């Protein structure tokens, strides 16, 4: 049956079709604008991720350099072209909204403080200033621009998590055996110090996901705050070197005791201390990089060294004292301590075709040293090898297997040759690979040493706490880059930036 249509209705179909087409075209146009917005947002996130990583990689260049690196890298990874004035205005103006999260300091830069960049000894936080793009079709329905934003946090983690050990090495210490800690009656190579303890570093905790630590800025009135944790696991945040040019500019005497206020007064001094701010992170008091450590030369540190080295259990990373983290052990006062001697990893003085197994230094012939009959002879030969090494031209002499023992680590060398007595802040000159060698137990008026590879029978005499700790100082080229990479805290190259959130 035919459908009758009123003549007056015939034009309605065309109007309806035109309206639907307009709606479809408008939706498609808006979709194109929104797609541009999503593309900008993805680009922003990529840009801010790369910028935060670049900032972390420039950690050792100073706080202002970090911010300048972040801004330069972010700019290079955006499609939008900005003049210098426009780009600087974004970071210093209203497009950079609010301060960094709680626990970060506002980053200084060559153009002034940048709220969009937050610095912390373990983190670099970046918020990209608002990016505004003009719409093409959205103007027709009332929105002229799309605003996007993105942020990223990068954390600095050492491989395996272990940072620098909290032992200070004096600036004039040469290769060979060095003293990490000693009591009032030292034995070689340790020397007497005014208050009895050679120089332990007392760091706060800034919180490190890899180690399981939480921020804790307990007052550093003595060195017994987190010394055990820092010995067992390594300091949980990044330390850095005090630049040589800055050291020279201060006019400080390496042989002086240098009062705290003198060290603190220099503008490039950033102290390894923090304050609690009630947030999830610890606020660094003096900025980053932290290049000056808190040293205590008092006897109060003995129990803490013993706990971190030998007796402690259940540290935040889930493991126990440093020297108990081994499968090759010897019982010392009921504790199973690592029994891997340094010469175990020393290659043969052979053809040198394989650095893992051989080298060119006769004094450093591993099989010869290992065959010596007494521990005293082995110690003397090992010292002779290390002391002669600097003049050799620097071949690798130790195998990469050395990284497996908990005796190897990194310790800060200070600019000062004399630590004096009591508590002081001391700038870091460099970081040295060390191999913890001997511990001495108190035994009446004398001490009993334990050296790894010195037999297998248990040591039951003597008493705790540990009276003295020594280490072999290893020149960088003695070990491969693989070993350096496995030692967190050694340098910028071994603290790996990782997107945190």
pLDDT, tens only, 33-50: 555 656 667 888 899 999
Residue 120 has pLDDT above 70, yes or no: yes
State the average pLDDT over residues 81-91. 91
State residue 427 phi and psi, 5-degree precision: -70, 150
Instruction: For residue range 299-317, list pLDDT tens digits in order.
Output: 567 888 999 999 999 999 9
pLDDT of 25 above 60: no
Q: Containing H/E element for 45? A: helix 12-57
CA 201 to CA 207: how far, in whole Å? 17
Q: In the predicted model, what is the mean pLDDT of residues 443-472? A: 89
User: Residue written as tokens 């007056």?
Assistant: 8
pLDDT digits (tens, 9 = 90+) for 404-437: 999 999 999 999 988 777 778 899 999 899 999 9
Check whether 110 has a pLDDT greater than 80.
yes
C-alpha 315/C-alpha 319 separation (Å) is 6
Residue whose pair of structure tokens reads 């201060």 in the numeric block: 250
Nearest alpha carbon to residue 227 among 469, 448, 432: 469
Predicted local distance difference test score (pLDDT) of residue 189: 83
Q: How many CA atoms lie within 13 A of 130 on its CB side?
A: 11
This prediction's pTM: 0.84
CA gap 295, 182 in Å, rounded: 14
Q: Give 362-385 pLDDT, tens digit per residue.
A: 899 999 999 999 999 999 999 999
Q: Which residues of 404-429 are buried (b: 16+ CB within 10 A; e: fewer)?
A: ebbbbbbbbbbbbebbbeebbbbbbb
Please write down the long-range contacts of 74-78, taking CB distance under 8 Å and 24 or more positions apart. Answer: 74/47, 74/48, 74/50, 74/126, 74/128, 77/43, 77/46, 77/47, 77/50, 77/51, 78/43, 78/44, 78/47, 78/131
Average pLDDT in the chain: 82
pLDDT at 101 over 50: yes
Residue 69 has pLDDT above 80, yes or no: yes
Residue 7 has pLDDT above 80, yes or no: no
Inter-residue contact 52 to 153 (CB < 8 Å)? yes
Does residue 246 carry a pLDDT above 80? yes
- Would you call 384 helix, strand, or coil by DSSP? helix
pLDDT in tens, 203-221: 888 888 778 888 888 766 5
| Distance from C-alpha of 48 to C-alpha of 54, rounded to nearest angstrom | 10
∠ Cα 149 153 159 (to 5°): 155
* Backbone torsions φ then ψ of 295, nearest 5 degrees: -115, 135
- Rounded Cα distance between 486 and 493, Å, is 10
Q: Which of 366, 399, 402 lies closest to 382, judged by CA?
A: 366
Q: What percent of the chain has pLDDT over 90?
A: 33
CB atoms under 10 Å from CB of 457, counted, come to 8
Q: Token pair for residue 91?
A: 């970071």
d(CA 73, CA 91): 13
109 to 65, 117, 238: CA distances (angstroms): 7, 10, 21
Q: Which of the two residues, 497 and 416, has the higher pLDDT score?
A: 416
Give the C-alpha separation, 229 to 161, whole Å. 13
Q: What is the pLDDT of residues 148-207, one digit of tens each?
A: 788 999 887 655 445 789 998 989 888 789 888 887 778 888 876 544 456 788 888 888
Of all residues in the chain, the percent with pLDDT exceeding 70 is: 80
Q: How confident is the model at residue 91 (pLDDT cuts 50, 70, 90)?
A: very high
Contact 354, 400 (CB under 8 A): no
- Dihedral sign computed on CA atoms, order 307, 310, 314, 316: positive
Could you tell me if 97 and 118 are in contact, meaning their C-beta atoms sit under 8 angstroms apart? no
3-class DSSP state for residue 379?
Answer: helix
**Which residue would you say has higher pLDDT here, 276 or 339?**
339
Q: Per-residue pLDDT for 497 more than 70? A: yes
Distance CA 479, CA 267 (A): 35
Q: In DSSP terms, which residues pair with 208 in a beta bridge? A: 213
- Number of Cβ within 10 Å of residue 449's Cβ equals 19
Per DSSP, helices labelled H in 235-374 are 244-250, 260-264, 302-306, 366-370
The answer to whether the CB of 200 falls within 8 A of the CB of 227 is: yes
Q: State how far the Cα of 106 lies from the Cα of 477, in Å rounded to an integer.
A: 38
In the structure, what pLDDT confidence band is assigned to residue 342 with cuts at 50, 70 and 90?
very high
- Answer for the pair 452, 407: CB distance below 8 angstroms, yes or no: yes
pLDDT, greater one: 234 or 263: 234
Q: Which of 239, 198, 207, 234 lies closest to 308 in space, CA to CA?
A: 234
Alpha-carbon gap, residue 207 to 209, rounded angstroms: 7
d(CA 178, CA 448): 18
CA 436 – CA 470 distance, rounded (Å): 6
Rounded to a whole number of angstroms, the distance between the first and last alpha carbons of the chain is 69
Place of tokens 């004399």: 418
Amino acid 344: pLDDT: 94
Of residues 381, 351, 388, the one with CA closest to residue 366: 381
- Taken as a whole, the chain contains a residue count of 501
Local confidence band at 24 (pLDDT 50, 70, 90 cut-offs): low
Please report the pLDDT score of residue 459 as a whole number.
92
* Average pLDDT for 82-103: 87
Q: Is the pLDDT of residue 6 over 60?
A: no
* Beta-sheet strand order (sheet of 123-134): 105-107, 114-120, 123-134, 145-158, 495-499
Mean pLDDT of 126-132: 88
């Amino acid at each position: 049956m035919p459908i009758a249509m009123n003549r007056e209705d015939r034009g309605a179909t065309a109007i309806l079709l035109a309206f639907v087409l307009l709606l479809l075209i408008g939706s498609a146009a808006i979709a194109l604008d929104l797609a541009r917005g999503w593309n900008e947002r993805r680009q922003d996130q990529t840009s801010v991720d790369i910028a935060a990583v670049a900032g972390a990689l420039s950690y050792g260049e100073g706080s202002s350099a970090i911010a300048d690196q972040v801004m330069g890298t972010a700019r290079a990874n955006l499609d939008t072209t900005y003049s210098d004035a426009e780009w600087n205005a974004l970071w210093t103006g209203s497009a950079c909204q609010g301060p960094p999260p709680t626990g970060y300091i506002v980053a200084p830069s060559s153009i002034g403080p940048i709220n969009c960049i937050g610095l912390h000894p373990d983190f670099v936080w970046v918020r990209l200033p608002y990016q505004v793009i003009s719409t093409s079709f959205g103007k027709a329905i009332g929105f002229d621009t799309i605003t996007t934003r993105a942020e990223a946090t990068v954390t600095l983690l050492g491989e395996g998590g272990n940072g620098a050990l909290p032992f200070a090495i004096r600036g004039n210490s040469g290769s060979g055996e060095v003293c990490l800690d000693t009591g009032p009656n030292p034995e070689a190579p340790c020397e007497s110090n005014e208050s009895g303890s050679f120089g332990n570093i007392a760091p706060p905790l800034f919180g490190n996901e890899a180690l399981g630590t939480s921020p804790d800025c307990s007052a550093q009135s003595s060195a017994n705050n987190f010394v055990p944790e820092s010995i067992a696991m390594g300091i949980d945040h990044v330390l850095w070197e005090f630049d040589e040019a800055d050291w020279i500019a201060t006019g400080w005497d390496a042989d002086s005791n240098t009062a705290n206020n003198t060290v603190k007064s220099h503008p490039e001094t950033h102290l390894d201390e923090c304050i609690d701010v009630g947030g999830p992170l610890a606020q660094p008091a003096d900025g980053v990089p932290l290049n000056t450590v808190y040293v205590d030369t008092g006897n109060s540190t003995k129990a803490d060294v013993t706990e971190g080295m030998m007796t402690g259990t259940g540290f935040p990373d889930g493991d126990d004292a440093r020297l108990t983290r081994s499968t090759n052990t010897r019982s010392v006062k009921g504790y199973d301590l690592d029994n891997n001697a340094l010469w175990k990893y020393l290659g043969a003085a052979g053809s040198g075709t394989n650095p893992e197994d051989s080298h060119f230094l006769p004094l450093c012939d591993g099989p010869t040293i290992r065959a010596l009959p007494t521990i005293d002879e082995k110690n003397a030969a090992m010292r002779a090898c290390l002391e002669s090494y600097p003049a050799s031209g620097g071949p690798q002499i130790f195998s990469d297997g050395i990284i497996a023992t908990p005796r190897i680590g990194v310790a800060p060398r200070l600019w000062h040759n004399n630590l004096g007595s009591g508590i002081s802040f001391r700038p870091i000159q460099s970081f040295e690979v060390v191999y913890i060698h001997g511990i001495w137990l108190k035994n009446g008026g004398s001490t009993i040493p334990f050296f790894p590879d010195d037999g297998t029978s248990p040591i039951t005499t003597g008493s705790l706490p540990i009276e003295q700790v020594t280490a072999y100082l290893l020149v960088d080229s003695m070990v491969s880059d693989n070993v350096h990479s496995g030692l967190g805290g050694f340098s910028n190259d071994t603290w790996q930036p990782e997107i945190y959130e």
